[in-house]
Amino acid sequence: MTIGDAPVRVALLGCGVVGSQVARILVEQADDLKARVGRPLELVGIGVRTPGPRPGIDEALLTTDVEALVRREDVDVVIELIGGIEPALTLILAAIETGKSVVTANKALLAQHGAEVFGAARASDVDVYYEASVAGAIPIIRPLRESLVGDAITSVLGIVNGTTNYILDQMHTHGSSFADALAEAQSLGYAEADPTADVEGHDAAAKAAILASLAFHTRVNLTDVDCEGITGISTGDIAAAERLGCVVKLLARCSVSADGTVAVGVHPTMVPVEHPLAGIRGAYNAVFVESVNAGRLMFMGPGAGGSPTASAVLGDVVTAARNRVRGVSGPGESAYSTPGITDPGRVESRFYLSITVRDEPGVLARVAEAMARHDVSIAAVRQEQLGDGGYARIGVTTHEAPYASVRDVVSLLTATNDVHGDVRLLRVEGA
């Protein structure tokens, strides 16, 4: 607790893209922040891995003895912007154990060690806030935790990775290949040199675990998320989507299944152009929430970037600081429910299959029969000749079916002589 007129002392861990902006704002907006908190916010140290000056940063604040910084008795709030599991987890637990509130942007850590972190926070009666961990600047964590807490959320759909949304948007807008769109994204700073975490969907999956935990008052771990990235998306998929009046989005989908279990997945998905999420362009993010009483809500904004993410961090810092000043903590995580996770095979969806076949009599009948055998109902079919080589492409849109059934259809078809190459399979959103 902050006594008397003492400033609220803040320690920052990490001074990268986001950390440097947080440090900047703490200095530039000092007067406003003081007015809003009720006491000055004082940045007392910045823990970094490698020593040496950073532009715009007071070098006296930098330290490589990061553990000592988080354990300092006079620190009130620790901001963790290192990312990754270690040393972030050890440092955060040390901060909590020694009575500090924590503000973090660390999605990977919370998606895999959330239970431990929130349990420690509850035991120490400190706050752990993490708005910056999902959807950058967009307030979504606090609304889910505190605004929609009187409602029953039925689904959360999110475009929560700016890199992949930018790439897919480029593929639609310019007809680029995935490889070309990725290179463009990297050249503009929308994708990392090693883009794996983004394009394989892992980043979105961690965020999905966090969103689902909040929405359904339970603990969803990263390993519970059925995850598929966009590396396999072809120009043919993009064209097929457009023919169907859709755009391909990497969609994080969290919903309650018919049996009450919770389904959480990240998949490239065809989204109808009328859906609010279809219009999310470039590196923007959006989260679409459906609740029993509120109906359909959407939150939209910059999903990444130094300043946008820093905005979310500072919002949490001020809120945590206000609590410290008043000698209180906010309500902790509400994860009382144990609905269980839906087996990915049982998750129902509409699907689009693109099957390249020999253009011969009986092929379409056999494709249709394979679907019927696994009880997958066809909503629409389109067959078109592919050049003069004797091949055709059959595009099938299904009605709602369990993933396992559709997966079995794909296996069946792939094993036949009719089918050339792989069967492309994408989920389709909406009725």
Residue ranges for the known binding site are 13-20, 107, 192
Looking at beta carbons only, is 158 or 402 nearer to a second copy? Answer: 158
**Which window, 147-155, 179-187, 342-350, 353-361, contacts a second copy (CB under 8 A)?**
147-155
**Which window, 165-173, 189-197, 290-298, 342-350, contacts a second copy (CB under 8 A)?**
290-298
Residue whose tokens read 């919002």? 315
In the chain, helix, strand, coil percent, each to 5?
40, 25, 35
**Which window, 165-173, 226-234, 293-301, 372-380, contacts a second copy (CB under 8 A)?**
293-301
Task: Based on the shown chain and the rule CB under 8 A, indicate whether residue 273 belongs to the binding site for a second copy.
Answer: no
Looking at beta carbons only, is 295 or 387 nearer to a second copy? Answer: 295
Helix axes 30-37 and 17-28, enclosed angle (nearest 10)? 80
Handedness of CA 188, 281, 296, 351 (dihedral sign): negative
Residues within window 58-87 making contact with a second copy, judged by CB under 8 A: none
Q: From the CB of 40, what's the least distance to a second copy, in Å?
A: 14
Task: Based on the shown chain and the rule CB under 8 A, indicate whether residue 418 belongs to the binding site for a second copy.
Answer: no
Instruction: Tell me the per-residue interface mask from 9 to 38 with a second copy, x by CB under 8 A, - otherwise.
Output: ------------x---x---x--xx-xx--
Instruction: Tell me the per-residue interface mask from 233 to 252 with a second copy, x by CB under 8 A, - otherwise.
Output: --------------------
Q: From the CB of 124, what's the least distance to a second copy, in Å?
A: 15
- Enter the tokens of residue 230: 């966009």
Single out the catalytic residue among 34, 100, 207, 249: 207
Give Cα 160 distance to the centre of its chain.
4
Q: From the CB of 123, what's the least distance to a second copy, in Å?
A: 15
For a second copy, which residue of 217, 346, 358, 374 counts as binding (CB under 8 A)?
Answer: 217
Annotated binding site for NADP(+): 13-20
Give Cα 154 distance to the centre of its chain.
18
- Give the helix/strand (H/E) hosting 309: helix 306-325
DSSP secondary structure string for all residues of 50-112: S-S--TTS-GGGEES-HHHHHH-TT--EEEE---SSTTHHHHHHHHHHTT-EEEE--HHHHHH
Task: Based on the shown chain and the rule CB under 8 A, indicate whether residue 142 belongs to the binding site for a second copy.
Answer: yes
Q: What one-letter code names the amino acid at 396?
A: V
Rounded CA gap, 90 and 9, in Å?
21
What DSSP designation does 276 have? G
**Which window, 55-63, 150-158, 262-270, 385-393, contacts a second copy (CB under 8 A)?**
150-158
Q: From the CB of 373, what's the least distance to a second copy, in Å?
A: 42
DSSP secondary structure string for all residues of 104-160: E--HHHHHHHHHHHHHHHHHHT--EE-GGGSSTTS--HHIIIIISTTS-EEEEEEE-
Annotated binding site for NADPH: 107
- Give the helix/strand (H/E) hosting 247: strand 246-256
Looking at beta carbons only, is 218 or 397 nearer to a second copy? Answer: 218
Instruction: Tell me the per-residue interface mask from 337 to 376 with a second copy, x by CB under 8 A, - otherwise.
Output: x---------------------------------------
Q: From the CB of 176, what's the least distance to a second copy, in Å?
A: 23
Looking at beta carbons only, is 219 or 366 nearer to a second copy? Answer: 219
| CB-CB neighbours of 177 under 10 Å | 15
Residue whose tokens read 């009948």? 365
Can you tell me whether residue 351 is helix, strand or coil? strand
Catalytic annotation present for 207 = yes
Task: Based on the shown chain and the rule CB under 8 A, indicate whether residue 299 belongs to the binding site for a second copy.
Answer: yes
Rounded CA gap, 28 and 87, in Å?
29
Looking at beta carbons only, is 328 or 372 nearer to a second copy? Answer: 328
Give me the active site residues, please. Answer: 207
**Which residues would be at the binding site for a second copy (CB under 8 A)?**
21, 25, 29, 32-33, 35-36, 131, 137-139, 142-143, 146-152, 217, 276, 279, 291-302, 305, 307-308, 310-319, 322-323, 326, 328, 331, 334, 336-337
